[in-house]
Structure 1
Amino acid sequence: MPASSSVVEGVFETLIRGGTVINADGLSRGDIGIAAGKVAAIIAPGEAAEARTVVDASGSFVLPGLVDAHAHLRDPGLTHKEDFSSGTHAAALGGVTTVLDMPTDEPWTATAEQLDDKMATAEGRIHVDVGLQAVVSRDLSPVPRLLGLAPVSFELFTADVPDAFLFDTLDTVAGALRAFRDADTLIGISPGDQSILTGSTARDRSGTIAAFLDSRPPLAEANGIARALVAAASTEARVHVRQINSELGVETWSRLRGMADATVETTPQNLFFTAQDYEAQGANLKASPPLRSPHDIDALRAALSAGLIDIVATDHAPHAPAEKAASYSAFADIPGGMPGLQTLLPTMLRLVDEGLIALHDLVRMCSRNPAERFGLGRRKGRVAVGYDADLLILDPRRSSTVANADQVSRAGYTPFDGWTVKARLTNVFLRGHEIVREGRLVGQAQGKIVTRES
C-alpha cells in the first residue's frame, strides 16, 4: 500500500489513527488522512499530521466499505416491501456503502426514461451510494440510450420472468449479448432453465416444497451457466453469472469459466442454509434458486475457500411481513426473497471465524471485486490514496449478535437471528463523512447515485 514518507502538508478533514488496514491483497499499518471525500494520504503510524477530527482506531481493523452487487431496493412501485431510504439505512448499518440495485421494480427499469426517473426518485433519500442496473428486454431498441446513462450493469434473465424479459434459448441469449459486443458494460445473467421449470410444473402440481425444489434443480443451474459462458465466448461479451449454489453448478463453472470474460457470485444464505431448513423457517427462507443439500453447500464452501467464487452478494429482496405470513396454496407461490444488506458483513465474518476465509478474502469478494467488475473500480473497493473514503472500523475485541429486533429493513426479520460473530462494526464512513456510529445513523442521508466509469 502506498504511504507517504514525510509530514503531510495542510490539514486533513479527518485522520483515522492506529488501525490495521485490510485490503484484498493483505493487511498493513497506516494512518488514513481524508480530504474532500477521498483518502488523501496513508502515512506511517503515528507520523505527525493535523486534522480537524481525529478518530482513534487503535486495536481495530479498517476495511473499505462493502459493495453489494445484487440487491432489490423495491423502489419505485413496490415500496411497501422496501424503499430507497429503508434499504440504504439497512445497508449503512451493515457496512455496505455501495448498493447495486437490480431493475425488477414496478415498472422494470427497461428504458432510459425509466432509469432516469429512478435516479431522480433516489435523490436525497439514500444513506449510501447506489448504482443502478438496467434490464435487457426482448425489444433491444432501448439499449443505446440506456448505455448513455451508464448503468453499472444490464441484467438478462433466462427463466421465471415475464415474457417481455425472457431469454429462454441459447439463440436468444446470444442475440441479446451481440447488442453489447462493442459496449463497455457488464451483463448479469441469472442461470435458470425455463424448459426444466415448465416440464417440472407439468409433472408435479402438488405445490409442495419437493415440487419447488424439482422445478429449479442443479441441472437447470448448470445448463444456465454453460449457456451463459458459451454465448459470452461466441459474442465476446462480458458477463457476470448470478448466484450459484449447487455442486453441479460449481463444477460447470470451474470447467468452463476460462472460455469467456466472466465472473460468478453466490450469497451468504447459500453458504449456510440447506433445503432441510425450510421445515423450520419456511417462507422466510423461500427464494430462488432454492436451497440445496448439505453436499452442495460443502462444494460451494470449498469453491469459496479455493477462490473460485469472485463475489459474495446478498440478493437482498425483502417483502412485507404480511406477505410472507399469508397462506398460499403452493410453496412456490410464496413471495421469493429475504433481507440481507444489514447482515452481509456479519455473515462473512462468521466465515472468517470458522477459518474458511481470511479478512482480506472478505474484502476481495465483497469490496474490491464487485467494485472493479461493475465499473466502479477507480473509486470504490480499496483503502488507497485517491479512492472514496468509504471506510469501516471493525473492533475484533468486541463481539456482536445479529437480532431481529435490530433490523431496519421493512421485512422486519433476518434468517440469521441470534448469530454471534467475534467483531463489532463501530464506525462507517461514506466519502469521508461518518454515517454510522455504534449501530446508529449519524446525520442526514448523504448517498449519491454512482454510474459506470468510462
Structure 2
Amino acid sequence: MELGETVSAVKSRRVLIGNEVCPAVIVIKDGKIHQILSDSKFSEDVGCEVLDVGNNVVMPGIVDCHVHVNEPGRTTWEGFWTATRAAAAGGVTTIVDMPLNSIPPTTTLSHFREKQQEATGKCFVDTAFWGGVIPGNQQELRPMIQAGVAGFKCFLIHSGVEEFPHVTDVDLHSAMKQLQGTGSVLLFHAELDLQQETKDTGDPSQYSTFLQSRPDVMEVEAVRMVTELCLQYKVRCHIVHLSSTKSLKLIQKAQQAGAPLTVETTHHYLSLCAEHIPAGATQFKCCPPIRGANNQEQLWSALKAGQIDMVVSDHSPCTPDLKKMDSGDFTQAWGGISSLQFGLPLFWSSARKRGFQLSDVVRLLSRKTAQLCSLDNQKGTLAPGYDADLVIWEPERTFQVEEGSIHHKNKLTPYLGTTLQGVVYATILRGQLVYREGSFCPEPLGKHLFIAQRKTQGQL
C-alpha cells in the first residue's frame, strides 16, 4: 500500500476499543470509521484494501491541542510543513495552533484569515487554530468565534514576544463578558509577575538560578485569579501547561463550586526534573519552569487521580541562537521546548512504569484534548462515525532520539540522545496513509478544522 492511498480497513491483533485491547478490523468509508468488527465477522470484499498491521497497537490518533507553529512571520523557528510532518511521524493526527509567536498573532479576524491562508497546502495532519486575547481586542472575539477558532489564549505575564501583550484585570473582565454564552473557552498562561524583590541573581548558567526566578507562588496566585473569574462568569476556562502541583487544591475547590475549569500539563514536566538539568543546558528552559522530582511525582499522582485532565506537548521551538547555548545563560535564553514528534513515546516511557494503561494514553492525549477544543464529536475516539484517524505503534519497542530522525525545523531538544519506549509505525488521517516507517505521503493531506461552538446560553 502506497503512502497517500486510502485504506479501506485496518486489521490488528491489538485494537484499543474502549478500555479493552482485542483483535479487530476497523472498516473505513469516506474518511470515517464505518464499523469495528471482530476477525470472524469480517469478510474481505473483492478489491478491499486491508492494511494488516499484525501485532501493532491501533489507537485513535493523538490530538495535540498546544502547538506553536510560528507561521507566518517567524518561519525560521518553525512552519506548518515541518511541524505537521513531525506531528504525523509521532502519531499526532490533529494539532491546534497557538495564536502567538507568529507575526501577526491570531488576535483579529483578519489575522486569523491570514494564518489560514499561510497554512493552506502545507499541513500533513488536520489543524485547528486558537485565537488570542490581548488588551483592546475584545470586539474581535465573537467574529473569530463565528469564523471557527477553537477558543482563545491569554497571558497573565509577559509572553516573551512584544506583539502579544499580557492582559490586565480590566481586559479579562471585558473578554469574559464577550465569551459568556458562546460555549467558547479561554486558556490561561497562569503565572503572575508578583514583583518580588530579587536578591542577588546568582550564576545565570545554573538552572537553579532560573528556577528561583519563577517560584510556585507565581503560578498559585495566577490560578487563584483564574478560578475567581471562572466562578464569576461561568465561562469555560483552562489552565495551560500546569507545572506546580501547589495550584491543584485551588483548582479542585473551584471545580467543586461549579467552575467549568480544566487543566493540562506537558510532557516535559512529566519527563524532566530540575535536579538533572546540567549547567548551561538552556535547551531545558521553558516557562513555567521544570520543577523538582517531588513535584513531578505529584503531577503523576494528580494525573492518575483525574485532577489533571490532559497532557500536551506545548511544542515551542526557536532558532538555535535564541537558546544562547554558547553562553549557557538561562536568564537570556528563549523559553520553549520542542517535543511534538515524541509526545506519545515520552508519555508512555514514564506512564507505563506507574501503572497507566493504553486506555489512559487515549484519554489523556486524544479524547480530553479533543474535548477541550470542541472536536470530540469527530476526533480522539475509535468508534463508528468518527474520523478514521489512527496511530499504529509498537509500545514495547525502544528507540533513541537522534537529530537525523527529527522532523521539526530546528532540531534542538532536551530529548536528544534519550532512549524512549514506543515506536510509531504508521499514521492514518481520515483513512489515508500519511506516514509509515520514516516516510511521508507525497503531498500534505491535512485539512483546516473550524469549530462550531456549543452555545451555553443566549446567541452569538
Same fold (TM over 0.5): yes
Deviation at residue 91 of structure 1 after TM alignment? 0.6
**Contact residue 353 and residue 421 of structure 1 kept, 8 A:** no
Change (3 A) 1:249 1:19: same
Corresponding residue number in structure 1 for 2:33? 39
**Contact residue 206 and residue 330 of structure 1 kept, 8 A:** no
Deviation at residue 440 of structure 1 after TM alignment? 1.9
User: What runs of 5+ residues in structure 2 fail to find an aligned partner?
Assistant: 1-5, 454-460
Change (3 A) 1:164 1:204: farther
Deviation at residue 184 of structure 1 after TM alignment? 2.1
* TM-score for the superposition, normalised by structure 1: 0.91
**Contact residue 7 and residue 433 of structure 2 kept, 8 A:** no
Deviations 1:192-234 (A, max 9, x none): 112x2x335x545557344432332111111111211110111
- What aligned pairs does 1:344-359 form with structure 2 within 5 A after superposition? 344-359=343-358
**Contact residue 400 and residue 419 of structure 2 kept, 8 A:** yes
Change (3 A) 1:397 1:351: closer
| Residues 20-29 or 144-153, more deviating | 20-29
**Contact residue 317 and residue 337 of structure 1 kept, 8 A:** yes
Counterpart residue type for residue 36 of structure 2: I
The reply on whether 1:158 has 2:156 as its aligned counterpart is yes
Separation in 2 of the partners of 1:93 and 1:185?
30
Deviation at residue 396 of structure 1 after TM alignment? 4.0
Corresponding residue number in structure 2 for 1:127? 124
Change (3 A) 1:327 1:426: closer
Counterpart residue type for residue 39 of structure 1: I
**Contact residue 12 and residue 57 of structure 2 kept, 8 A:** no
Separation in 1 of the partners of 2:212 and 2:90?
34
Aligned residue pairs total 439
Corresponding residue number in structure 1 for 2:332? 333
Deviation at residue 346 of structure 1 after TM alignment? 0.7
Separation in 2 of the partners of 1:75 and 1:164?
15
The reply on whether 1:76 has 2:76 as its aligned counterpart is no
Corresponding residue number in structure 1 for 2:300? 301
Deviations 1:76-95 (A, max 9, x none): 11110111101111111011
The reply on whether 1:48 has 2:46 as its aligned counterpart is no
Separation in 1 of the partners of 2:395 and 2:270?
23
Corresponding residue number in structure 2 for 1:98? 94
Change (3 A) 1:270 1:44: same
User: What runs of 5+ residues in structure 1 fail to find an aligned partner?
Assistant: 1-11
**Contact residue 282 and residue 325 of structure 2 kept, 8 A:** no
* TM-score for the superposition, normalised by structure 2: 0.90
Corresponding residue number in structure 2 for 1:362? 361
Corresponding residue number in structure 2 for 1:251? 249
Match of 1:232, SS state, is helix
Separation in 2 of the partners of 1:190 and 1:244?
9
**Contact residue 180 and residue 234 of structure 2 kept, 8 A:** yes
Change (3 A) 1:374 1:252: same
Q: What fraction of aligned residue pairs are identical, expressed as a percent?
A: 27
Counterpart residue type for residue 249 of structure 1: S
Counterpart residue type for residue 66 of structure 1: I
The reply on whether 1:167 has 2:159 as its aligned counterpart is no
Change (3 A) 1:24 1:275: farther
Separation in 1 of the partners of 2:336 and 2:391?
27
Deviation at residue 422 of structure 1 after TM alignment? 4.2
Deviations 1:132-188 (A, max 9, x none): 11101221121121112111110121112359632244x543342222001121111
**Contact residue 391 and residue 429 of structure 1 kept, 8 A:** yes
The reply on whether 1:113 has 2:107 as its aligned counterpart is no
Match of 2:39, SS state, is coil
- What aligned pairs does 1:40-439 form with structure 2 within 5 A after superposition? 40-46=34-40, 47-50=42-45, 52-104=48-100, 105-139=102-136, 140-161=138-159, 162=162, 165-169=165-169, 172-194=171-193, 196=194, 198-200=195-197, 202-205=198-201, 208=204, 209-259=207-257, 260-279=259-278, 282-325=281-324, 327=326, 331-396=330-395, 398-439=397-438
Match of 1:350, SS state, is helix
Separation in 1 of the partners of 2:89 and 2:132?
28
Deviation at residue 318 of structure 1 after TM alignment? 0.7
Corresponding residue number in structure 2 for 1:27? 21
